[in-house]
Structure 1
Amino acid sequence: MAIFKLHHITKYEYDRLVKESINEIKIFPYQCAQQEIVQQEVMITGNPAIQTFIDYWGNKSGSFNLLQPHSELVIESRLVIRTTSSTQLSIDFHSGFDDLLRDVDGQINLLELSSPERIVAQDEIEKIIQSIYAPNKSVAAVVEGCCEYIYKYFKYKKGITTTETTIDEILDHQSGVCQDFAHLMLQILRTMKIPSRYVSGYICPIKNGMRGEGATHAWVDVWIPNYGWAGIDPTNNIWVTNRHIKLAVGRNFVDCTPIKGTFKGPALQKLSVYVSIGYEDGQIFEDMNDVDMETQQPTTDQIPDYLAGQQQQQ
């Protein structure tokens, strides 16, 4: 077990007053046996009431409306969490695709998570599958091979993709960040009819060469026969143990966006995200990102709703 203290601040700054900022947040840890919330405090500019609910994928979500005019919106989460997963996993490396078919049969949720997106470069996905799949391999072995392939052949590079980058573009770039690698892995696995879901959260090792550490992170949950959901991280080519903290799951990033919403007013906005992780030995890892927001200025006779921003996971 390990205990972490996380401080996550999302700050929107507007070049003029805006109003009626309506937002949805997914910054509450996912409820599962692998992690336990010790304490969490969420603070928002203007102290609006937060209405919480469980969404379609089982994520605890919140919504709020900041009606009064404001030039800044700060959403702050202070979290103490205990991870309970063992560092020694007992994933079943014997169950094959026949076992998987029996698991998926009649399970609508698993079937939904087994369908790939429609993309132009599906032939490239099929080529990747040819290099990692064999009829005698277990499901877990194929998943592990997929993870290793992405880690080996796709370069980790910030700044060339956004939250709207498509799988076709990721294949073209041959590089990206964690959410890109997660989306690519989902397409590969779902093409093989392996149920898999996108996971957003944090990664908490400290300065040991892990990519994306100390920041919002993304990886993949995969359904393994005779085991259940198992997390795997293609950014770092590892199975997930007690160093990953899960916030939300879904079909893709859109289902797990930490913060999204709209506001009224002809304003341009700036988004910055700060994350710090405190460890049991007192060490603190900090990460600060300014996110490029390509919001266009509306005409003066319009008062449209604007997307309040989406945090890209690194």
Structure 2
Amino acid sequence: MRLLIQHETEYHYTEPQARVVQLLRMTPSSHIGQNIVDWRIDVDCDARLKQSTDGFGNIVSMLYLAGPVERIGLRVTGEVLTEDRAGAVSGAIDPLPPAVYRRATELTGPCEALLDLLRDHEGAKGDALSRIHGLNSAVCRLFPCKEHRSTDVRSVGEVLEARSGCSMDMAHVLIAAARADGFPARFVTGYIYREDPDCGHREAPHFWAEIDVPEYGWIGFDPANDMCPNDHYVRVAQGLDFRDAAPISGARVGGGHEVLAIGVDVSLSQEQYQA
């Protein structure tokens, strides 16, 4: 599938900022099943961008702005060729051994509600892959996925207590469950194309999990949609949890508050329509 990505982010500050530094994890890389045809990041103010690779293998761009800064507009556009590989991830930049992804974090630490979920799932039969598919479905059934991402980043315990959340929250729950069950699991940020014309404009990127399954390697699981990622998905960044793979993180020097607006649109390219 040939997909077009448009991701717009705008910051407004109630007071001018003396300095703003942001880390952008908004550039995907090519691997088996995903080929980046074109990709660019544009900033609508006088800024300096420096690209590198982080410890998880993500392509990162450091954004530096000297004040006074009252607003920042970021626009990411790209074209990606994707292939349905039933969630299997091969050839991606992966500098860390799978064992690193068994490590619990503040957001994915086990809690009693999570252990209850695992106990309910203990009777599942089949091999490791079947077990993970079952866990993915179990997390999907916990609560409906909210379309819009909350600005709050909550721990698994808080998500399970509220029985409410977005794709980020559901990915954290699945990752915590998989790690508690002995599997390396990591958080993934990216985009998803939806064929439903009624779904309209998407306001945020999409998030899912990847789990290292014995004899298969890394496989993606999306508990928000109870499926493995296919050619509708574009994979961008990975980490132990959202904080390691967030599209934008950073710091500012100045008072006041910031107001954030995000718009994401994923569509078929003209070449795909013609095909």
Q: Match of 2:139, as an amino acid?
A: I
CA shift, 1:276, in A, is: 1.5
Unaligned runs of 5+ in 2: 90-94
CA distance in 1, matches of 2:189, 2:3: 17
State TM-score, norm by structure 2.
0.87
Aligned length: 267
CA shift, 1:126, in A, is: 2.0
Greater Cα shift, 140-149 or 130-139: 130-139
Match in the other structure for 2:51? 52
State TM-score, norm by structure 1.
0.77
CA shift, 1:120, in A, is: 8.3
Match in the other structure for 1:228? 217
Q: Match of 2:227, as an amino acid?
A: I
Greater Cα shift, 233-242 or 160-169: 160-169
CA shift, 1:219, in A, is: 0.3
CA shift, 1:75, in A, is: 1.1
Match in the other structure for 1:26? 25
Please tell me the root mean square deviation across aligned C-alpha atoms, in Å. Answer: 2.9
The change in CA–CA distance for 1:187 and 1:89 in structure 2 (over 3 A counts) is closer
- Any residues of structure 2 matched to 1:1-314 within 5 Å, and which? 2-86=1-85, 109-117=97-105, 122-134=111-123, 137-157=126-146, 161-207=150-196, 215-280=204-269
8 Å contact 2:186–2:211 — kept in the other structure?
yes
CA distance in 1, matches of 2:149, 2:162: 8
The change in CA–CA distance for 1:22 and 1:185 in structure 2 (over 3 A counts) is same
Greater Cα shift, 208-217 or 258-267: 208-217
CA distance in 2, matches of 1:168, 1:211: 32
CA distance in 1, matches of 2:170, 2:154: 11
Unaligned runs of 5+ in 1: 92-106, 285-314
* CA deviation map 1:110-155 (0-9, x unaligned): 2221233478872322221122235852111111011111111222
Task: State the identity as a percent.
Answer: 20
Q: Does the residue aligned with 1:156 lie in a helix, a strand or coil? A: coil
Q: Match of 2:82, as an amino acid?
A: T
8 Å contact 2:110–2:176 — kept in the other structure?
no
Q: Match of 2:266, as an amino acid?
A: I
CA distance in 2, matches of 1:152, 1:227: 25
Q: Match of 1:24, as an amino acid?
A: L
CA distance in 2, matches of 1:83, 1:197: 21
* CA deviation map 1:88-112 (0-9, x unaligned): 5789xxxxxxxxxxxxxxx973222
8 Å contact 1:5–1:278 — kept in the other structure?
yes
The change in CA–CA distance for 1:41 and 1:263 in structure 2 (over 3 A counts) is same
CA shift, 1:223, in A, is: 0.8
CA distance in 2, matches of 1:18, 1:56: 30
Q: Match of 1:263, as an amino acid?
A: R
Larger-gyration structure (1/2) = 1
CA distance in 1, matches of 2:10, 2:3: 23
CA distance in 2, matches of 1:89, 1:38: 21
Q: Does the residue aligned with 2:26 lie in a helix, a strand or coil? A: coil
8 Å contact 2:41–2:76 — kept in the other structure?
yes
Q: Match of 2:2, as an amino acid?
A: I
Higher RCO structure, 1 or 2 (CA under 8 Å, sep 6+): 2
8 Å contact 2:6–2:265 — kept in the other structure?
yes
